[in-house]
Every structure is written in C-alpha cells, then in structure tokens.
Amino acid sequence: MTLAVRYTAPRTLGTAPAEIRSPGPGEVELAPAYVGICGTDLHIFHGDMDARVAAPAVLGHEMSGRVVRVGPDVEGWQPGDAVTVMPLRWDGTCPACASGHRHVCQNLDFIGIDSPGAMQQRWTVPAATLVRLPGSLALDRAALVEPTAVAVHDVGRAGVREGERVVVVGGGPVGVLIALVARAAGAEVRVVELSAHRRLLAEELGLTAWDPAADDVPELVLRWTGGAGADVAFEVSGAAGGAGTAVEVLGVRGRLCLVAIHPRPREVNLHRFFWRELTLVGARLYDRSDFERAVTLVADGTIPAERLISKVVPLTEAPAAFEALEAGGDVMKILVDCGNGTTGA
C-alpha cells in the first residue's frame, strides 16, 4: 500500500492508503520525492474543473523523484535514476498530433488532471514521459523543472529576442520564471505584481517590479522605452485588469503572449490591436525540448529554484498547504514531501 492525496469534492482533500500498481509494458514505477502545488491544482481544489476531473483524483504534476521498478520492454532506465515527468500523453492520431503539435493533442491526457498524478508515495507512469535529471541537482529544486518548462515554452512562443523590452503582468511563480527565462534570453524585463511580498522577491532576484495599484504602469513603460512601448507582454495574472495592462503597454507590432487561464471571456481593446498592429499568441504547456532546456536552467542556477520555494510540507499536510496557498500572503511555491527523498540529490 501507498499513501496518496485525493481530491473528492470542492474544497475537500484527504490522504488515504492506495494500491500500488505494478508497471506494465512500457511503464515505470516511481517514488515521487517532491511535488509542487500549482494554480491548476488550486482550480481543481475549488471545484472549477469538476467537469473534467473524475473524483476521487490524485493531483500533482510538478514533481521530482526516482525510478523504483521498470516494466517489460522498458530500456534506458533503472532503479535509482533521478527523474521528473513531462505529464502529457497524446493519442498521436488527432489533427493536432498529425500537424506536429502533440503537446496540444485534441484528446490530451494531462497526467495529474485527467489521470492520477504524483501526490502519492508510488506512481506508475509511461516510461516515455520520463525526463532525466543530473545527479548533482537536488530533488527539491528539481520539482520546479515543470513550471520552468512552461516558462521556456512561453518565452519561445513570444519569440523573445536579445535586447527587447518585456513586461510580465503577474509575478507569481510562473510569472517570475518567465521573467528569469526572458532575462536569460537577453531581454530587459519588468514585472507587474500587486503582492508586496512577490514584488520584493522579484527585486531580490535582480528584477524590477512595479505595483499596478500605486504605479501608472503604461506611463512607466513609456518612460522606460523612450515612448516606444514594450516589445513583448506576458499576461500571467488571469485578471481582467491584467489583460488590459498587457495590451496597453505594447508598442507598435508588439506581441502579447497569453499564459494565464481566463475562465470567462474578457473585454479586450481590439482597436489597440488594429492601431498598433499587435500580435496575440497563446501559450499552453511545453514539449520535450522545453523540458530539457528547463532542466539545464534549474541545474546551472539560472533559475534559483531554492529562492522560489516558500515551504515544504509532508504529504499528510498537503490539504492545509492548499488552504495556505489560497489565502495568499507571503507564499510563492509550496512543495509536498512524499517521504521518498531528501533535499540532496
């Protein structure tokens, strides 16, 4: 038996024993070490995704851990290997897959949402989802590879180039990661964030952060860019006001990359798109090259993962951790310790 965190109803999580499923052909059994709680997990917790998530559901897709057993026909992996998981399972036959965009498969199984996730002591997944971790990378830091892969994909979708001026609207974990990845690509970056705690963390990481409640952000952008406006804006806040700000700060032929999940339609200044010939691109998930790049960025310290981890809680305290994240405050990223690793490699 193993212990798992399960979502059973809106705002209801619990830990309970679960059966360990032996790996079948092409599968591996993992011992998750650390699992991050993300915004999507909170949406599930609130009941916003009940039409998609079949309760009881084991959550979690930001993880690190080690291989325990390999199933038949699995090559290249052995017990003890340090791994993370790219939690996507596509059908390979839909129009999206046929056109080379498997990560947005029209019948995608996002593991941890559509099927059981990593917030358990044993987890069986397809071997094809594994991404190798370097032995020098601490497993707690490695749990941030998945959200870093999101940021890598977002920056790639926006086509950020060296010397460009970039505004990131929303300074939560993904927003800060986007800012750091964009900076690594040679861009000048500003972060817009309401939370004083998150602004302070961004500043400590060498980023400039603005408070939209106190600052005239579009005016600051004009001063910063000599009246030109930003080349790229990322909307990561998920708020109507954030979307408006992201459009307003862009200069002629600027690119808006939509990252946040907006659960309802938003009013958008389409005249601004016409007048300045703006471009809107969506960014969802990642591919394997994004994941591999993310491993490198976390391992070499470009992404200071340890600075983004607010706290680590044991598996049995995961339900309380969800409530702490929901309350906001001085919290960035909470990891759930599944009891299978230490902070070292």
For residues 97 and 91, the answer to whether their CB atoms sit within 8 Å is yes
Alpha-helical runs (H) found in 10-165: 39-46, 95-98, 139-142, 145-158
Amino acid identity of 151? A
Instruction: Give, as one character, the DSSP assignment of residue 128.
Output: G
Catalytic residue among 2, 8, 15, 43: 43
For residue 307, give every residue at least 6 positions away whose Cβ sits within 8 Å of its Cβ, in sequence order, or none: 201, 204, 205
Classify 212 as helix, strand or coil: coil
Catalytic residue among 15, 40, 225, 296: 40
| Residue 316 annotated in active site | no
For residue 321, give every residue at least 6 positions away whose Cβ sits within 8 Å of its Cβ, in sequence order, or none: 37, 311, 313, 334, 336
User: Is the N-terminal amide bond of 72 cis, ω within 30° of 0?
Assistant: no
Query: What is the torsional sign of CA 50, 54, 56, 61?
Result: negative
CA distance 164 to 221: 13
CA angle 154, 158, 159 (to 5 degrees): 115
For residue 232, give every residue at least 6 positions away whose Cβ sits within 8 Å of its Cβ, in sequence order, or none: 158, 159, 160, 164, 165, 166, 167, 182, 187, 250, 254, 255, 256, 257
CA within 13 Å, CB half, 196: 1
| Residue 43 annotated in active site | yes
Positions marked active-site = 40, 43
